[in-house]
Amino acid sequence: MSSTTERRDRALPLLVGAASLAGGVGLWWALAAFSGLPSYVLPSPGQLVTRAVSLWQAGGLSIHLQQTLAEVLQGVALGSVIGIALAVLFVRVGWIERLLMPIIVVIQVTPKISIAPLIVLWLGLGIGSKITLITLVTFYPVLINMVGKLRGMPSTMHDLADVLNIRRGRRALLIDLPYSLPALAAGLRVGVLQAVTAAVIGEFIGAQAGLGYLEKQAQDNDDIQVVMICLILLSAIGWALYTLVGLIERKLTERFGG
Amino acid sequence: MTHHTHEDTAPPEAAATDHRRLLEIRGVSKEYVSVKGASVRALDDVNLDIGDGEIIAIIGPSGCGKSTLLRMVAGLDTDYEGTIEWTRAPRPGRDIGFVFQEPALLPWRTVARNVSLGIEVQKDRSDLPTDRVDQLLELVGLRDFAKSYPKELSGGMRQRVAIVRALAYDPRILLMDEPFGALDAITRDKLHDDILRIWAATRKTIVFVTHSVEEAAYLADRVVVMSPRPGRLRSVHQVPLDRNRDAATRQLPVFAEFAGMLRGELA
Ligand SMILES: Nc1ncnc2c1ncn2[C@@H]1O[C@H](COP(=O)(O)OP(=O)(O)OP(=O)(O)O)[C@@H](O)[C@H]1O
Ligand SMILES: [Mg+2]
């Protein structure tokens, strides 16, 4: 296969995606222009852009964007580290899994939105409570995916480690970790989307900054334009992270997969 | 060396006396219990002495317990009846080289780093030459692939990497489970001679499993024939050839006769 057809194979879905997105925006614009809905109920795309630009120039957008990004990135990083560490421990040390798994399951089956008030009450309105919430939702899919991968490790790899007398920490670092890294990305695929949701939930419930906080404020002021701006930015964050994880997954599989 | 001329098949026990005994397998039995609760007797009362520096081939039909026995010797399976006693206990991670039925390479390491794994994880191996890995890769014709990743190699190339990985840290005993099964005839013949050369230089004890009676006859001092259900030692044969073996050896009538006899035992 030549590289031009390869490029076309990759470009085509991108084109179709862009077209469908453009179609959606067009429909929105038509609805705003011809449906007779007042612009404070359904602003047109143009109005929204103008409002966003003026908000940005006044400095009223970037702090919130930065806040939410900071929460998500730190929460996901912490969640990944905890997920990886627990996965390696669970697979090697059975009693730790038996001890912790019930607690973890209880936390996971409890709706996050119902845990959020408690965490905000305990940890305050600052970034800490959001990071905690995000960590709570991301470590789980990472853990589950990594454990699944590690349990499926070919028995000869275990035998090899035994014959070479590679044990404990060294075994985790030299064999378990690199072997299971591709599964980290699979876990994060689910994890990052839940992370953005968790950030917004935390910011709704109690915060001093963040896109969720801004959106909630705008809702209280009946400012539909700002609500929509926040919404679009949040979905852009989600999309960017999802794409990034896809990229990381490809790299990890290339580097560490068979 | 006293056994340059074993022209006739010596009784099995005679061989071990040529070498100082390294290993004594006594009354070893193993039962696997299946998920449904039924038990399979994989090995039944296996007795075998292995001499220091000896090359032993294990042959037998599929499922007769060859891998199981080899894993026990390696210490990978410790759940069995009977005893396996060493004259000098193998040092963990140092004295046993194992070539698995599949190559089992680490996909995230280059070929060279796969081979050096066993050296890396040991405390002090300054006794080994610094270009040890290069030398070994040269030996199996893979020097140009030192920086490649396992997925970039063919199945046979991977198996060659697995063989030199087991040799890299200079173990005292080399255990190989069908190491040459996936190789083409030419590579296999070449590796046979490599193994013999390594043996001549180091006098390592080598125990290997094979399905090829020619391979067993060409490489081994003694051939252990196993029978299935339950896995037993059916017989142990002294190979009627001296240690100097080369391509011409395969043409000898005594070689063909011995291989034919082994084939008969398997049927
Ligand atoms: N983990 C296991 N659980 C249950 N039974 C097993 C297990 N491993 C091996 N067995 C059984 O033990 C017997 C011997 O197996 P083993 O792998 O040692 O045979 P083998 O001689 O190496 O066969 P092959 O030539 O096909 O590799 C077989 O009957 C097999 O079904
Ligand atoms: Mg086997």
Ligand 1 geometric centre to CA of A12 (Å): 51
Residue B145 belongs to domain spanning: 103-169
Whether the full predicted model's pTM is greater than 0.90, yes or no, is no
Q: Which domains does chain A have, with CATH numbers?
A: 47-257 (1.10.3720.10)
Number of domains in chain B: 1
Residue B160 belongs to a domain = yes
The pLDDT profile of chain A, 258 residues, written as one tens digit per residue, is 455 666 777 788 889 989 998 999 999 999 988 888 888 888 999 999 999 999 999 988 999 999 999 999 999 999 999 999 999 999 988 899 999 999 999 998 999 889 999 999 999 999 999 999 999 999 999 999 999 999 999 999 999 999 999 988 899 999 999 999 999 999 999 999 999 999 999 999 999 999 999 999 999 999 999 999 999 999 999 999 999 999 999 999 988 887
Residue B200 belongs to a domain = no
Q: Which of B29, B43, B67 to mutate to test the pocket of ligand 1 (most atoms within 8 A of CB)?
A: B67
**Strand (E) positions, chain B?**
21-33, 39-51, 55-59, 81-86, 96-99, 173-177, 205-209, 222-227, 232-238
Quick one: tokens of B1? 């060396």
Asked if omega into B230 is within 30° of 0 (cis), the reply is yes
* DSSP code for B172: S
Residue B128 belongs to a domain = yes
CB atoms within 10 A of CB A195: 27
Q: Nearest residue on chain A to B152, judged by CA atoms?
A: A258
Listed in sequence order, the residues at least 6 apart from B158 whose beta carbon sits closer than 8 Å to its beta carbon are: B103, B105, B150
Residue B180 belongs to a domain = no
Residue B163 belongs to a domain = yes
Task: For residue B104, give the nearest of A156, A165, A257 by CB distance.
Answer: A156
In short, whether B39's Cβ falls inside 6 Å of ligand 1 is no
Ligand 2 geometric centre to CA of B117 (Å): 24
Nearest to A73 by CA among A181, A199, A175, A170: A199
Residue B123 belongs to a domain = yes
Q: Does ipTM exceed 0.90? A: no
Residue B177 belongs to a domain = no
Q: Which residues pair with B49 in a beta bridge?
A: B24
